[in-house]
Amino acid sequence: MSQDHQKCTASPTSDKHDVEKVVPSPSSDGTQERPYSIYTPAERWFIVVIASVAALFSPLAAMTYMPAIPVIAADFHKSVELINLTVTVYMVFQGISPVFWGTLADYVGRRPIFLSCMLVLAVACIGLASVPTSDYWLLLVLRCVQAAGSASTIALGAGVVGDIATRAERGGFFGLFFIGPLLGPTFGPVIGGALTPTLGWRWIFWIFVIASALCFIALSAFFPDTLRQLVGDGSVLPSRFYRPLVPLVGHGRRGMTTERPPRVPFVNPLRILTYPDVLALLLFNAVQYALFYAIIATISSIFQSTYSFLNETEIGLCFLASGFGTTIGGYVIGKILDRDCRLLKEKLALERMITTDTPGLREAVTHEENFPIEKARLKTIPIQLLICVTCCAGYGWCLHQKVNIAVPLVLQFVFCFSVTAILNTIQTLLVDLLPAHGSSVTACDNLVRCTFGAVCVSVIDLMLNDVGVGWTYTILALISLCTSPMIWLIVRLGPRSRAKRRARNS
């Protein structure tokens, strides 16, 4: 390794907690440096799939409940407005609880917090399935507990992806991971709508008891702890509590070293909100998430009033268009993010090779702390945002004119494809900026976007009644479009904000 390169990588402004090696590279003695993770690609996909299944419970528990609200209101002898309050408190705890669980996972470990969340969810669902119809207050409390158990799994899974994947490959892993959480708003109403009139609304919660128990068993049996300050690149063997019962991944490679990585200092998760680049990303993401929920949360009511020939089952099937859009969009954008990152690195390395003959300087431009990750990640955001706002406004006016049902369904698909690409891109960039605090920054993202989403859901019916469906979605599209300058702001702010954090931490 050249002397210039040593100076660059040992810069006093480097952040030892947030800088990660991208690929193994030859050291000065000709040996290969350790990779970022000991797990093979297939093993990492396996870990992410388990985390994605666990993260599915957060939106699924929220949306499966929706079709049962009128029936629950009748059984409890309460108004629909009072039963809707159980949705509101769920969304409140959905935003708050990950701040606690996610931060704890960044210091205690991913595995024990995952298991704790599944256990809390199962216990809460047993209570909800058995709650007496005379105890409305208990229904409210148990919905809060259910949210506390299920909502944090997304933040935990994002932390896992940050643990085992470098920036160069993180986009693809996030694309796979977010398939689970994004399927919840799509298939939740279909499941709830099928169970409520046949087996009864209590079976919604019994199904969750069974599913969360199976997920708990799968996590216990196969899921290893990935927190880097506990296991490093995965080769450090932790205590028995942190190891899976059946070591399918990393078998024979764990325990190769007893050298533990340094402990990451505690960071108040709310302090993350004071970082200018991170805050700008959170606000931009929250607006797009609110737009997403403005369409998803109103599909049932709008399609029922616009296309009166549809029955409940057919309305539930209308959610499949958005479901396929989110699934395909998440997968495709993951591949695009990895490609954009690789191409920009190659371009910068080529430019530096032309302008300098010093190998160390040529390598430094693509080093993680110097690489313009914001530029690489946000490359496709402008076009995705333009597609989103166009489809959103067009969707509203198509429903207003009551055109053939195929048109709004196609617009749903395209909109959800693009908005998923935006949400996954921002989430990936957030973990890129703070990889040592992946769960905490995802929890903050969840807090901000759930707040915006709750506000949007609470006013969407008022807007639909006052200005009509066409103008409602046009206004929301214009609000989303007004956030576009934040993309330029993030690209400008990002490198300077990262440099200040590195200087402060050093």
b/e sequence 29-60, b meaning 16+ C-beta within 10 Å: eeeeeeebbbbeeebbebbbebbbbbbbbbbb
- Section 113-128 average pLDDT: 93
Residue with tokens 């969009």: 329
Could you report the per-residue pLDDT of 67-86, keeping only the tens digit for each? 787 888 888 888 877 877 88
- Residue 26 three-state SS: strand
Query: Are 147 and 121 contacting, i.e. CB atoms less than 8 angstroms apart?
Result: no
- 433: closest CA among 384, 497, 345, 489? 497
Query: Are 15 and 502 contacting, i.e. CB atoms less than 8 angstroms apart?
Result: yes
Domains along the chain?
35-266 (1.20.1250.20), 270-506 (1.20.1250.20)
Mean pLDDT for all residues in the chain: 80
Say whether pLDDT at 18 is over 60.
no
Which sign does the torsion angle of CA 428, 434, 438, 441 carry?
A: negative
Could you report the per-residue pLDDT of 103-118, keeping only the tens digit for each? 788 888 889 999 999 9
What are phi and psi for residue 437, nearest 5 degrees?
-130, 45
For residue 361, the model assigns a pLDDT of 44
Q: Residue 284: count other Cβ atoms within 10 Å of its Cβ.
A: 23
Token pair for 242: 């942190």
Say whether pLDDT at 33 is over 70.
no
Query: Are 110 and 226 contacting, i.e. CB atoms less than 8 angstroms apart?
Result: yes
Cα 227 to its chain centre, rounded Å, is 18
- 408: closest CA among 326, 454, 469, 468? 469
Could you report the per-residue pLDDT of 236-245, keeping only the tens digit for each? 888 888 888 8
pTM of the model: 0.75
Alpha helices in 56-109 (DSSP H): 57-63, 69-76, 80-108
- The Cα-based distances of 405 to 84, 213, 461 in angstroms read 29, 40, 21
Q: Which amino acid is at 175?
A: G
For residue 387, the model assigns a pLDDT of 94
Could you report the per-residue pLDDT of 407-460, keeping only the tens digit for each? 999 999 999 999 989 988 998 888 888 877 777 788 788 888 878 887 887 788
Query: Are 47 and 160 contacting, i.e. CB atoms less than 8 angstroms apart?
Result: yes
Cα 348 to its chain centre, rounded Å, is 30
Q: Which H or E run includes 413? A: helix 406-433
Residue 283: pLDDT band with limits 50, 70, 90: very high
Rounded CA-CA distance 194/319 in Å is 13
For residue 353, the model assigns a pLDDT of 57
- 153: closest CA among 269, 50, 271, 234? 50
Which sign does the torsion angle of CA 463, 469, 471, 475 carry?
A: positive
Rounded CA-CA distance 92/445 in Å is 14
To the nearest whole percent, how much of the chain has pLDDT over 90?
22
Say whether pLDDT at 465 is over 90.
no
List 95's β-bridge partners, or say none: none
Packing angle, helices 41-55 and 110-130, rounded to 10:
30
For residue 328, the model assigns a pLDDT of 85
Packing angle, helices 179-198 and 153-164, rounded to 10:
150
Residue 478: pLDDT band with limits 50, 70, 90: very high
Q: What is the DSSP string of 108-138?
A: H-HHHHHHHHHHHHHHHHHHHHH--TT-HHH
Could you report the per-residue pLDDT of 368-413, keeping only the tens digit for each? 566 777 888 888 899 999 999 999 999 999 999 989 999 999 999 9
Rounded CA-CA distance 218/430 in Å is 28
